[in-house]
Amino acid sequence: MARRKKSAKPVIVRRPSVQSIVTNICQLVTEQGWQVKLERLFNRPQFCKDHGVAGSLDNVLGFTEHPEKIVYVDYRHNFFDILIHEYLHALYPNLEEDDIEALEEYVMERLTPTQAKRILRATVPALI
Ligand SMILES: [Zn+2]
């Protein structure tokens, strides 16, 4: 899940290229059936509880439900950062939160305008 910013620890594992991450993100929605649901999440913990999210729900801005293949994003905040963060959870379900945050930072620092457009164009038809 995405929360308000905190410093991310570095990831030691070798990272895939940003281009391959972008391709894999696009395939989540174009080929694997993932959908993106826009919701009002932050300060609405009751909503999250209804959807079975475990742990503390303070400052939740997005989360990913793997069995349902749905990425939830609170569109009222940093939409694109949160979207990328949750897509990374979908791509790498076994990574810990700190590693996802570091990977998000890695992608966001290097993402080109063309790659950002690819992700947004793939996302729009997947919005629910
Ligand atoms: Zn997260």
Q: How close is the Cα of 39 to the center of ligand 1, in Å?
A: 16
Q: Which domains does the chain carry?
A: 18-126 (3.30.2010)
pLDDT tens per residue, the chain (128 residues)?
777 666 665 555 678 999 999 999 999 999 999 999 998 886 554 443 334 444 555 667 888 999 999 999 989 888 999 999 999 999 999 998 899 999 999 999 999 999 999 999 999 999 99
Q: How far is CA 8 from CA 16, 58, 80, 101, 102, in A?
A: 18, 18, 18, 6, 5
Contacts of 33 (CB under 8 A, 6+ apart): 69
Taking the centre of ligand 1 as the mean of its atom positions, its distance from the CA of residue 63, in whole angstroms, is: 7
CA–centroid distance, 25 to ligand 1, in Å, is 15
